[in-house]
Amino acid sequence: MRLFIILTLFLFTGVAGFAQEILTGLQVNPMVKAKAMELTRIRSGMVDNQMQGNDYLNAVSDTIPIPMPFFDDFSANGVFPSSLRWIDHFAFENDDLPVFPINIGAMTLDAINDSGNMYPEAVPGPSAFIADHLTSRYIRLDSTFAPIPRTLTPADSVYLSFFYQPQGRGRPPQKADSLILQFLAVPAHDSLIPGGSIRVPDSWAKVWFANGMALDSFYLRTNKWFVQVMIPVTDPRYFTNKFRFRFFNYVSLASEAEPSWQSNTDQWNIDNVYLNSGRTQNDTLYPELRFIYRPPSLLKRYESMPYPQYSDDPTNEMRDTLDILMSNRDVIDHMSSYNYFVTEPDGSFSKSYSGGNYDIQPYSVTPYVTWQKFAHPEVPFLIPINQTDSATFLVKHVVRDITPGSVIGDTMVSYQKLYNYFAYDDGTPEASYGLTPAGSQLAYRFRLNKSPDTLRAVRMYFNKTLGYVSQQFFYLCIWNDNSGKPGDTIYSDLVFPRYADSLNKFVTYHIYPPLRITGTFYVGWVQTTGDNLSIGFDRYNNSQNEIFYNSTGVWNNSAFTGSLMIRPVVGKPIPLGIGDIAPRELKITLFPNPCPQSVIHLRIPDNLQNTFVSESATLTVSDIVGRVRMTTTFRNEIDVAALRSGIYFLELKDRSGIRLGTAKFIISR
């Protein structure tokens, strides 16, 4: 049987082409999707908007213009643009995709809409289409009210400035694609015609654009990660109480033939949008002392790990120093202090670090602070050893100008988690990872401190693909270690990708029976088809050296920088959760297997047999490439005379279409 499987996979591999690992964009943005659902609940009254702290519904009506200055640095990480300044929700506010932003967070325009899904126009081909918009509220450019009310004119030197970056950690915009800025030339209005009136839509004027390119080309051309644009507002027609501007992007998709590999693309990042009067072409700075990237984990290897595993070797698990990136965007030095604090919510543990005072030079002199006590602060303590299963610690970083009365500074907050799983990833996917062809193997390396331990489950985050083509069977596998690479397979189970619809939800596959593991172990899969399984890929954190793939009999390190969203759960028994737990499937027995005959017999637990028959369960048989070969109502004997020799998968579903169990069988004649 083993030889037959190998030959079958070899033949399929020959059809599919050379083996490779592939990184694609997302088909669905889970953060946008979850926020869209939350906004819907707020509007329907299911959630108290004030309790949630959202400004989406508290903002003034779009018919009421807002005064200058207009400024947004997108550091709130609210997913949607703030409705206090913007009128649409197409762009994505985040701190994952921008590379070396002006401060933590930026606004990303791409090919995913405000519901978190790909735009309907996103079809493979050469034609570009308009995707995301980022549109300001009406802004009063007719008058200013500080220090005294007066009329504004072009002589008041009004400038709109912003920073932009193509690609970031996403996929590069094609050369023919572009990011465009428009000003509202004539607002929509009613126009009289003989016998009535017609509605004349908004009229827009293009004032700036940038052609697409990869980030590395952009940096080589400009010597900057983000480039600032200064747009003077000089046309008298804009000096009204209904001035408005908007960004939008043109997107085109590559012509991938397989739906499972088609994905989001053409990302643009925008930061620090600033509109005000009394500016000049040289007024390029907004005085800021800011952190650039969010706080790092206190752990050396993981974002999170089981508390007992940490407690067994805390000295080697805690970082010696942290990497903190901060910058002074002002034109002058700022004598500043930097501190961070680590506390447990109940107050039982509290530690702090002081970097003292340091004179931070402007960005034009030194782009990022390099002074050791600020840029690489020590971690002179350990998170306490504890017998509990899990804990969470609040980590707060503060940098501020120490000049009396100064308000320049920044604060960032994170949580250090010690739960029952190992995680290299931060919980947010920026891309999807997949392998091809059938038979390809993926292994992710983890190391125990306290050994042996018990592997209870594996948590996985799957991204949905076009038409859900990624819903193909695969073998969830565990390997032991062989000199730094995967060794023998110590666990294998045929499973199916599952999706969790809410934000950053992993699906948990329980290991039955729980598996005793020692030392170094590997978690991953063996594919049954060449389709993209589309596992979540975190491009912010890098565990590339822990990722291995094998399609030719040789294990190789991944070529991609990032972390897979796969988390082994170890330790004490875990209760079944709600929503993110994949229920244990029924054990289905097929015999004879391999089957040389025209009939194969099916057996499930005797006490459930009558229930399934009465509920009209269905059986579906698919081949190794996912094509459905037969569908029938539940029965104990299945006629397989029409099936050719090969590997097949049987799927049992209830009358609602919920999968109850799977089994693999081989026809060998």
Q: By the 8 A CB rule, do 167 and 215 touch?
A: yes
Residues 266-275, mean pLDDT to the nearest whole number: 95
Burial degree of 231 (CB within 10 A; 0-12, 13-18, 19+): middle
Of the listed ranges 264-273, 409-418, 610-619, the least confidently predicted one is 610-619
SS3 219: helix
Q: Which of 450, 447, 318 is nearest to 384 (CA)?
A: 318
Of the listed ranges 168-172, 214-218, 387-391, 491-495, the least confidently predicted one is 387-391
* Residues 330 and 467 grouped into a single domain: no
Q: By the 8 A CB rule, do 393 and 342 touch?
A: yes
Q: What is the Rg, in whole angstroms, of the alpha carbon atoms belonging to the chain?
A: 28
**Local confidence band at 500 (pLDDT 50, 70, 90 cut-offs):** low
Residue that the structure tokens 């959630």 belong to:
47
- 355's enclosing H/E stretch is strand 350-360
- 11's enclosing H/E stretch is helix 2-16
Residue 572 CA, chain-centre distance (Å), reads 30
* Residues 511 and 410 grouped into a single domain: no
DSSP category for residue 247: E
* Residues 572 and 600 grouped into a single domain: no
* Residues 208 and 238 grouped into a single domain: yes
At residue 22, the pLDDT reads 85
Residues 70-99, mean pLDDT to the nearest whole number: 92
* Residues 12 and 94 grouped into a single domain: no
Q: Is 74 inside any structural domain?
A: yes
**Local confidence band at 2 (pLDDT 50, 70, 90 cut-offs):** very low
Residues 25-50, mean pLDDT to the nearest whole number: 69
* Residues 484 and 604 grouped into a single domain: no
**Local confidence band at 615 (pLDDT 50, 70, 90 cut-offs):** low
The CATH number of residue 593's host domain is 2.60.40.10
Residue that the structure tokens 């978190």 belong to:
116
Among 284, 319, 334, which residue terminates a domain? 284
**Cα gap 592→82, rounded to integer Å:** 62
Summarised one tens digit per residue, pLDDT across range 64-77 is 899 999 999 999 87
Q: Which of 57, 94, 96, 59 is nearest to 78 (CA)?
A: 94
Residues 290-317, mean pLDDT to the nearest whole number: 96
Q: Taking the chain, what is the end-to-end CA distance rounded to the nearest angstrom?
A: 12
Given CA atoms 79, 471, 553, 258 in this order, what sign does their dihedral have?
negative
- Asked whether the predicted pLDDT for residue 63 surpasses 50, the reply is yes
Q: Is 289 inside any structural domain?
A: no
**Cα gap 373→20, rounded to integer Å:** 43
Bridge partners (DSSP) of residue 277 are: none
**Local confidence band at 270 (pLDDT 50, 70, 90 cut-offs):** very high
Residues 245-265, mean pLDDT to the nearest whole number: 71
* Residues 217 and 78 grouped into a single domain: yes
* Residues 551 and 457 grouped into a single domain: yes
Number of domains the chain is built from? 4
Residues 30-54, mean pLDDT to the nearest whole number: 63
Residue 96 CA, chain-centre distance (Å), reads 7
- Asked whether the predicted pLDDT for residue 386 surpasses 90, the reply is no
At residue 224, the pLDDT reads 95
Q: By the 8 A CB rule, do 346 and 420 touch?
A: no
Q: Which of 260, 256, 262, 261 is nearest to 472 (CA)?
A: 260
- Asked whether the predicted pLDDT for residue 589 surpasses 90, the reply is no
Cα dist from 460 to 15, 97, 260, 332, whole Å: 29, 22, 18, 48
**Two structure tokens written together for 2:** 């083993």
**Two structure tokens written together for 422:** 């190992």
Summarised one tens digit per residue, pLDDT across range 527-575 is 988 777 889 999 999 999 999 999 888 999 999 999 999 999 999 987 6
- Asked whether the predicted pLDDT for residue 595 surpasses 60, the reply is yes
The CATH number of residue 322's host domain is 2.60.40
**Local confidence band at 29 (pLDDT 50, 70, 90 cut-offs):** confident
At residue 13, the pLDDT reads 32
Q: Is 606 inside any structural domain?
A: yes
**Cα gap 350→299, rounded to integer Å:** 17
Among 418, 446, 469, which residue terminates a domain? 418
**Cα gap 379→381, rounded to integer Å:** 6
SS3 171: coil
Q: Which domain holds residue 439?
A: 2-24+428-582
* Residues 564 and 599 grouped into a single domain: no
At residue 61, the pLDDT reads 57
Q: Is 402 inside any structural domain?
A: yes
Q: By the 8 A CB rule, do 112 and 89 touch?
A: no
Of the listed ranges 42-56, 388-402, 455-469, the least confidently predicted one is 42-56
Burial degree of 424 (CB within 10 A; 0-12, 13-18, 19+): buried
* Residues 70 and 217 grouped into a single domain: yes
Residues 632-654, mean pLDDT to the nearest whole number: 86
CA atoms within 13 A on the CB side of 351: 12
**Two structure tokens written together for 168:** 């970031």
At residue 58, the pLDDT reads 44
- Asked whether the predicted pLDDT for residue 6 surpasses 50, the reply is no
Bridge partners (DSSP) of residue 167 are: none
Residue that the structure tokens 């827009």 belong to:
204
DSSP secondary structure, 193-216, as one string: ETTEEEEEPPEEEEEEEEE---HH
**Local confidence band at 608 (pLDDT 50, 70, 90 cut-offs):** low
Residues 477-495, mean pLDDT to the nearest whole number: 95
| Helix residue spans in 244-340 (DSSP H) | 307-312, 314-317
Among 364, 383, 418, which residue terminates a domain? 418
Residues 250-268, mean pLDDT to the nearest whole number: 67
Of the listed ranges 96-100, 285-289, 494-498, 629-633, the least confidently predicted one is 494-498
- Asked whether the predicted pLDDT for residue 135 surpasses 60, the reply is yes
At residue 647, the pLDDT reads 82
**Cα gap 54→665, rounded to integer Å:** 53
Q: Which residues contact 249 (CB under 8 A, 6 or more apart)?
A: 109, 110, 130, 131, 132, 173, 177, 178, 179, 180, 266, 268
Residue that the structure tokens 């932009």 belong to:
164
The CATH number of residue 435's host domain is 2.60.120
Q: Is 136 inside any structural domain?
A: yes
**Local confidence band at 49 (pLDDT 50, 70, 90 cut-offs):** very low
At residue 482, the pLDDT reads 96
* Residues 600 and 543 grouped into a single domain: no
Q: Is 610 inside any structural domain?
A: yes
Which is more confident, 565 or 117? 565
* Residues 342 and 196 grouped into a single domain: no
Of the listed ranges 222-226, 387-391, 592-596, 610-614, the least confidently predicted one is 610-614
Mean of pLDDT over the chain:
85
Q: Is 75 inside any structural domain?
A: yes
Q: Is 31 inside any structural domain?
A: no
